[in-house]
Amino acid sequence: MSYLLSIDQGTTSSRAILFDRSLQPQASAQLELAQSFPLDGWVEHDAEAIWRSVVEVCQRALAHGDIAAQDIAAIGLTNQRESTVVWDRATGEPIHPVIVWQDRRTVLQCDALTAAGHAETVRKRTGLLIDPYFSATKLAWLLDNVAGARDRAERGELAFGTIDSFLIWRLTGGRQHLTDATNASRTLLFNIQTQQWDPELLALFDIPAALLPEVLDSSDDYGVTDQRLFGHSIPIIGVAGDQHAALVGQACFEPGMMKSTYGTGCFMMLNTGGQAVTSNNRLLTTLAYRLNGVPTYALEGSIFVAGATVQWLRDGLKLFEDAAESERLAEQTREGNRVYLVPAFTGLGAPHWDPRARGAIFGLTRDTGIAELVAAGLRSVCFQSRDLYRCMEQDVGLGRGRLRVDGGMVANAWLLQCLADVLGQEVDRPLVRETTALGAAYLAALGCGWYRSLDELAARWQCECTFFPVMPEKTRESLYAGWQIAVERVKSERGSSDEQAVKQALPLAG
C-alpha cells in the first residue's frame, strides 16, 4: 500500500489529495460548496451536500491518479472546525442544516452567560472565550429550536459532532461516533486540562452527555471505511481540525514555532509545547495536537474574514472575475494609498471579539479606484495578522522568529510582501502549500508506521521562498495606526474596550 488519502473538508470546498510514501501529492480533486445565509449573521451548510462532495472528491482523486483503494494505506481527515451538526443515530439523517463556525445567531445567549459571570470558569477549563464562534451555544440552539430535539437527545437518539465526527460516522457506515482532541477542544465543552468532556460545562450549556462522541488522539484508530464507498475498506488513522493540521503540515513541532493559514478566515497558531499558556490579550489557548495521550498546546488568534474578503470583492462588488486578478490589481494601486477596508462582515474575531461589529471602508477620495479597493482588502488581512502577532509577542515574548504561511491566499506574492512589510519580519512560504491536507497525511503516516517521529516529519519540510520586509518603519507604523483607528470605528459600543482613546484619536484620521 503506497499511498495516503487526505480528506480536507473546508468552509468553501471539499478536497481530496493522494500522497505517496515520500509525502508528495500525486493526484487531487476539489469541489466548491455553497453556503446559505438565512438571516443576518446566520451561516449554514447542507450536511448532505458536504457528505456527497467528500465521497465524490475521493472517488475523483482515485480515478485521476489511476489508484485503487487497495493501494491506500490510510486516510487522514481534516475539517472546518466548530461547525455543528446533529443527526439521527438510527438513520444518519441530520435534523437541521450545519450551523457554520461563522454563524452569529447565539450572540444573546453568549452575552447572558458572560453577564452571569461564567466567562472565567469557561476560559480556565477550555482556553476559549464565550462566543458564538464555538460549538456549544450552536448545539444548544439546535436542541431548543428543532421540534423534539431535546427530548430525543435525552433519550440517546441523536448524535452531535463537528464535521470530522459526522464524516467519520458516514465513512464507517454509522459504526463509529468519534472525534479527535483538537476538534473537541473547540466546542466549549472539553476540558483541555483533564482532556475530557467537562460535566460542569455540559450542565452550564444544558447539553446531554449522550450526544457526545468519544475523544481520541489526533493519530489513532478511527475505524475503517464502508467497503461500498470505494470498493475496499480503508483505515482512518489521522484526524485534526484544519488549523491544527496546518500546524502539523508546517512542521511547527517546537515551542515558539508559528504558522498562519490564509483561507476563508485567517488563523495564526503558536506552538507552546506542554504548557497551556493563558493569553492576556484575548487570544485562545487550544490544543495543537495530541499524540500517544500527550497534549501539545498552542496560542491561537482567529480572524473570521481573510480570503472571504477577496471573494466578496469578486462576487459582491464584481471588481474582477478571478481571485488571481487581485494580485495584478493591487500592484497598480497608487502610491500613498490610505484606503482601509475593515471586513467585519460577521463581526470581529481576535483580539476584539465583537460579534456586533460590521464591515466598512474608510479613506475614500475622488481618485479611489478598483486597484485601491482591492489593495485595501488584501492589506486588511495583513493588518489583522499584525493584530494577532502583536498579541502573541506580548503574551510569550516572541523573538524575531519567522512566520510560516499557507492556504489558498499565499499564491499572491503581493499579499505576502505586504505581510512581511506590515509585520516587519520574514515570511516563509512552503514548497507544498496545501499544508492542511499534508498535516492530515502526516498524522496518518505516523499512525500507520510510515514515519516514527515528528523529527522525521520535520526533516521533510521545505521552504519555497522567503519574503523580507522592505517598508520603512515609519511608514509601517503610520499605516498600522490608521488601521487601528478604522477598526475602532466599526466596533459596536458594547464591543469597544478603548472607546475614550478612540474618540481622542478620531480627529487624527482626518
The answer on pLDDT for 401 being more than 70 is: no
* C-beta separation of 276 from 266 below 8 A: no
Q: What is the 3-state secondary structure (H, E, C) of 220-285?
A: CCCCECCHHHHCCCCEEEEEEEHHHHHHHHCCCCCCCCEEEEECCCEEEEEEEECCCCCCCCCCEE
What's the average model confidence in pLDDT over 71-81? 95
DSSP letter string, 120-157: HHHHHHHS--S-TTSHHHHHHHHHHHSTTHHHHHHTT-
Report the range of poorest mean pLDDT among 8-12, 24-28, 399-403.
Answer: 399-403
Rounded distance between C-alpha atoms, residue 448 and residue 152, angstroms: 38
Rounded distance between C-alpha atoms, residue 46 and residue 49, angstroms: 5
Q: What is the mean pLDDT of the chain?
A: 89
pLDDT tens digits, one per residue of 410-435: 999 999 999 999 999 999 999 888 89
Count of other CB atoms within 10 angstroms of residue 90: 9
What is the enclosing helix (H) or strand (E) of 184?
Answer: helix 181-184
What's the average model confidence in pLDDT over 450-454? 90
The answer on pLDDT for 128 being more than 70 is: yes
Cα of 321 vs its chain's centroid, Å: 26
DSSP letter string, 60-86: HHHHHHT--GGGEEEEEEEE-SS-BEE
What's the average model confidence in pLDDT over 253-260? 91
Which candidate, 192, 202, 12, places its Cα nearest to that of 102?
A: 12
pLDDT tens digits, one per residue of 358-393: 889 998 888 888 889 999 999 999 999 998 888 888
Whether the CA torsion 25, 175, 243, 264 is positive or negative: it is positive
Q: What are phi and psi of 180, to 5 degrees?
A: -105, 170
| pLDDT value, residue 16 | 96
Rounded distance between C-alpha atoms, residue 304 and residue 312, angstroms: 13
**Of 44-58, 262-276, 309-323, 456-470, which one has max mean pLDDT?**
44-58
Length of the chain: 510
Which candidate, 311, 299, 390, places its Cα nearest to that of 343?
A: 311
Rounded distance between C-alpha atoms, residue 374 and residue 195, angstroms: 44
**What pLDDT band is residue 331 in, cutting at 50, 70 and 90?**
confident
Tell how strand 284-291 and strand 13-19 pair up.
unpaired
Output 443 or 399, whichever has higher pLDDT. 443
Rounded distance between C-alpha atoms, residue 165 and residue 179, angstroms: 5
* C-beta separation of 376 from 337 below 8 A: yes
Q: What is the 3-state secondary structure (H, E, C) of 351-398?
A: CCCECCCCCEEECCCCCCCHHHHHHHHHHHHHHHHHHHHHHHHHHHCC
Rounded distance between C-alpha atoms, residue 311 and residue 246, angstroms: 22
| pLDDT value, residue 164 | 96
Rounded distance between C-alpha atoms, residue 130 and residue 116, angstroms: 12
Output 503 or 385, whichever has higher pLDDT. 385
- Return the residue matching grid coordinates 496518518: 444
What's the average model confidence in pLDDT over 90-103? 94
Report the range of poorest mean pLDDT among 181-195, 222-236, 258-272, 416-430.
Answer: 258-272
What is the enclosing helix (H) or strand (E) of 467?
Answer: strand 463-467
Rounded distance between C-alpha atoms, residue 178 and residue 368, angstroms: 52
Residue 491 burial (10 A CB sphere; 0-12, 13-18, 19+)? buried
